[in-house]
Amino acid sequence: MDVSPVFTGAELVRLGDIADSALEAARQTAPQGQITQTLAAGVELVDRYEAAHDIPACYARALVTAAMDACRLGWNAPLPDIFLREAAPGYLTERQRAEADPDRWFTAALLEARKPVHGVTAALELVSKSDAMGAQLGVSQLTDYLNAYGTTSRKACSPPSTFWTAVASHATNPDHLTNLGVAAARLDLPQVAQRMVRLAVDVGNKSAYSHLALVHEEAGDPVEAERVAQIAADIGLPRTYLHLVMYREEEGDPVGAERAAQLATDAGVNHAYLHLMLAREEAGDAVGAERAAQLATDAGVPDAYMHLMVTREHAGDPAGAEQAAQLATKAGVPDAYLRLMVTREHAGDPAGAEQAAQLATKAGDNSAQRLLEIMRVEAARE
């Protein structure tokens, strides 16, 4: 029977409905639908991997499994060979470790893992130099087929401690470290997650704690999310709380959003309530926006209502702007109406400016009308 070497798009879609990890790996990695060729090499790679439980084959399997875990958890890049060497012991039994030749096991295992199937591909491949001939020294790349296979077959697996220790010693890319930290949190390894994220921050990703906090928030663990945000604040990154504020508000948790805003304020983010106020105003929640402005005022941010007033004025909501100015006046901002008057006059709204001046006068500011006259006289001279 003849089998076409190339699968059509429709055939690839149908393959996706078949619950088979080998087929799924081939479907994800086959170049231009060449499932048959990919399966031929890929299936043998998987068979070799799955059968490698005895000594010495188990040592190559340990290297490949460490590479699978690194790739599926977010370090999908050429991996340092020394990382594979240091991660491998956790994937082996006590007997397998005891019987390994300390001086030879790794070299032999790496050679085995790099042995090509059908002369086409190997479990761990060499990585070419980007600007010259030859391979980079000291790094290996997990073949795409085993990457896809490992993502499926080890989806629920948690790597051993040696894996995380080796990551901490040899991963240097902040995005990879952040990915690994998030993955650790999802595997319910909070201490490991925090260690990865702290390393990510140290090498340049200042938002890593925010990613971790939101993972806990999404998982329904607000207490742990706040704990992570406080850890970030303690090392000078209080804005993590701000991300919690916005996430909770977007998810329909106004009480939680206000709590996070207060924690952010306590940590030194003085504009947290302002962000919450503006988010609510943009969402059409005028009452919620005014509440956030009052909370901001109570927290020592006197211009909160003024920000709300200007936002509403610019949005074409004069009545709302006047309401905000009134609330600002009640909150102790003496020139709220005056500033609204100036804003409207500069915007070419003389009637609105006069309305604001009258409101200022009613509120006890007798200088408003006179200031408006002076502004208009000066404008006429220009």
Residue 1's pLDDT band (cuts 50, 70, 90): very low
Helical axes 336-346 vs 318-330, angle rounded to 10°: 150
In the numeric block, the tokens 């629920």 are attached to: 156
Residue 338 within a domain? yes
Out of 114, 144, 171, a domain closes at: 171
Q: Does any domain span residue 157?
A: yes
Check residue 79 and give its pLDDT: 98
Per-residue pLDDT at 118: 75
Burial of 26 (0-12, 13-18, 19+ CB in 10 A): buried
- Higher-scoring residue by pLDDT: 55, 2: 55
pLDDT at 376 over 90: no
pLDDT band at 2 (very low <50, low <70, confident <90, very high): very low
CB contact at 8 A, 353 and 374: no
Per DSSP, what are the bridge partners of residue 128?
135
Residue type, 53: H
Domain that holds residue 348: 304-382
Query: Which DSSP letter does residue 43 get?
Result: H
Region class of 354: left (phi > 0), else alpha (psi between -120 and 50), else beta: alpha
| C-alpha distances out from residue 10 to 14, 17, 108, 149, Å | 6, 11, 43, 22
The DSSP bridge pattern shows strands 79-80 and 139-142 to be antiparallel
CA distances from 242 to 146, 204, 261, 295 (A): 40, 19, 7, 15
**Angle subtended by helix axes 21-29 and 35-51, to nearest 10:** 130
pLDDT one-digit tens code per residue, 86-115: 999 999 999 999 999 999 999 999 999 999
In terms of domains, do 166 and 314 share one? no
How much is the pLDDT for 20? Answer: 55
Q: Which of 143, 171, 199 is the last residue of a domain?
A: 171
66 occurs within a structural domain: yes
Residue 293 lies in a domain: no
Per-residue pLDDT tens digits for 13-48: 554 555 555 555 555 555 444 445 556 677 899 999
Does residue 18 share a domain with residue 167? yes
Instruction: Convert the pLDDT of each residue in 63-85 to its tens digit.
Output: 999 999 999 999 999 999 999 99
Instruction: Write the pLDDT tens digit of every residue in 196-247.
Output: 999 999 999 999 999 999 999 999 999 999 999 999 999 999 999 999 999 9
User: φ and ψ at 206, to 5 degrees?
Assistant: -70, -15
Angle between helices 254-266 and 239-250 (to 10 degrees): 170
In sequence order, the 6+-apart residues with CB closer than 8 A to the CB of 87 are 66, 69, 70, 159, 160, 162, 163, 165, 166, 167
How far apart are alpha carbons 327 and 304 in whole angstroms? 10
Question: Does the residue 297 lie in any domain?
Answer: no
Q: Is the whole model's pTM more than 0.85, yes or no?
A: no
Where does a domain end: 108, 141, 171? 171
What is the number of other CB atoms lying within 10 angstroms of the CB of residue 2?
4
In a domain, 39, yes or no: yes
What stretch of H or E contains 83? helix 81-87
CA distance 325 to 359: 9
At 133, phi and psi to the nearest 5?
-80, 155
Q: Are residues 162 and 308 in the same domain?
A: no
How many domains does the chain contain in total? 2
Are 183 and 74 in contact, with CB atoms under 8 Å apart?
Answer: yes
Determine whether 152 is exposed, middle or buried from the number of CB atoms within 10 Å of its CB (0-12, 13-18, 19+).
middle
Report CA torsion sign: 48, 49, 51, 52. positive
Residue 350 lies in a domain: yes
Question: Domain holding 343: CATH number?
Answer: 1.25.40
| Residue 187 in domain | no
